[in-house]
Amino acid sequence: MTTMTQTSARFREFKMPDVGEGLTEAEILKWFVQPGDTVTDGQVVCEVETAKAAVELPIPFDGVVHELRFPEGTTVDVGQVIISVDVAPGSDEEAPVPAPAQEPVEAPVSDEPKGRTPVLVGYGVAESSTKRRPRKGAAAPEAAAVAAAVQAELNGHAAPAAPAAPEAPVGRPLAKPPVRKLAKDLGIDLATVVPTGKDGIITREDVHAAAAPAAVAVAVAPEAVEPVAAAAEVVDSTASARETRIPVKGVRKAIAQAMVGSAFTAPHVTEFVTVDVTRTMKLVAELKEDKEMAGVRVNPLLIIAKALLVAIKRNPEVNAAWDEANQEIVQKHYVNLGIAAATPRGLIVPNIKDAHDKTLPQLAAALGELVTTARDGRTSPAAMAGGTVTITNVGVFGVDTGTPILNPGESAILAVGAIKLQPWVHKGKVKPRQVTTLALSFDHRLVDGELGSKVLADVAAILEQPKRLITWA
């Protein structure tokens, strides 16, 4: 369900929807329309990136674009108006003046119960019943002045002269959300900033002034201090030229949270095995010529995926999840096989639903579609949900092996190293053979060493003798 408002009979507004079941914000990556463009119901008007994926947003009505409320690169909260459309161009009705919804000073407090906000996926997220504790009062003017002076000393500057400041308001310092974000990015405590805006509101200029005490110090300090201040500016300029700071958001933020959560929640164990895959490579070559496999991509990953599915069928206990809330182990009787994919926006892990039920041609087709969609940046949040086990192919980068971190909520992940021609003892003689190293990480709460070893050994045995795909299936 899309999110829209109707401000008049002529102008309609489209709000940022929840595109991923509970997400609170999204970044506008690209606008496909501009003011004055004609749009039709269902036409994609922009692409946004959430913590899960990049998603294209269609407009739910016809008309002419009147206004784009946010530029590209802006992170917008769910529920904020992002575009307004003139649905009756040519009429005499005046355009409504847009309310500054994107920069409220403070959210209003209401005692009335709130319902759900319509969203793109599902019907929305219920309002939280959690009540926040009252905020502590803002620091007194004297405390703010002391804090500013101490910070100036720590920065190596003389303390700036204290300007005559208006009486500090009681409670949280007044500032619009973009100003609060700017202060957070610059490491500035708003309680120490002297407001110059109307009604005591802190402006961007106030934050920038607080972040650059060196400039103030030069203006009020003796001439002997000027070389020190100038040297400090040179150091800052040099440091900024040697470093680049990239905001952590979108997919990268989600990856970081997921990996930290997994690494410090599930006790990881990783086992390794090196295996001769010469016969598997011969099978791949033969399948490429098979008419039944025409039109699909055949590669070693396909056989490895099938080998893992057979190994799970032989050891079904490995396909499980840990339910911390209910203190239960959830056995999965299906396999949603995740494939780690490197994309320009970062690592994502879409999965093939019910991979255990697919034939080899079907599995090949699903793998090809999954990889193509991921590289094009069109993977949907639903495609990345519900995985049970994952394969990560680090071999494509020439890496021999690794110790992969579990995808949150899954029990195991198989890393596949590069396949290389190496000397190998085969039938009592040293011969050049195609060899790779496999690494299986698993959640030790769910999977004991014996079970993990059996799964890894079965995968290796199949890759060494691919005929086991038939005898063990």
The terminus-to-terminus CA distance of the chain in angstroms comes to: 43
Is there a contact between 325 and 314 (Cβ–Cβ < 8 Å)? no
Tokens of 104: 């409220």
Task: Give the DSSP letter of residue 290.
Answer: -
Q: Please name the amino acid found at residue 159.
A: A
Question: What's the rounded Cα separation, in Å, for the pair 191 and 106?
Answer: 16
Task: Give the DSSP letter of residue 99.
Answer: P
Task: Give the DSSP letter of residue 204.
Answer: H
Q: Which residues are catalytic?
A: 444
Question: What's the rounded Cα separation, in Å, for the pair 380 and 391?
Answer: 19
Residue 175's closest CA among 213, 216, 136, 138?
Answer: 138
Q: Which residues pair with 49 in a beta bridge?
A: 27, 54
Where do the DSSP E strands lie in 7-101? Answer: 11-15, 25-31, 38-39, 44-49, 54-58, 63-68, 75-77, 81-86
The angle subtended at Cα 14 by Cα 10 and Cα 19, nearest 5°, is 160
Helices (H) and strands (E) in the chain, counts: 11, 20
Question: What's the rounded Cα separation, in Å, for the pair 39 and 55?
Answer: 18
Question: What's the rounded Cα separation, in Å, for the pair 193 and 21?
Answer: 38
Q: How many C-alpha atoms does 330 have within 13 Å on its Cβ side?
A: 15
Dihedral pair phi/psi, residue 105, rounded to 5°: -75, -50
Dihedral pair phi/psi, residue 140, rounded to 5°: -65, 160
Is there a contact between 46 and 31 (Cβ–Cβ < 8 Å)? yes
| Residue with tokens 């299906």, as numbered in its chain | 334
Tokens of 314: 């032989």
Is there a contact between 20 and 28 (Cβ–Cβ < 8 Å)? no
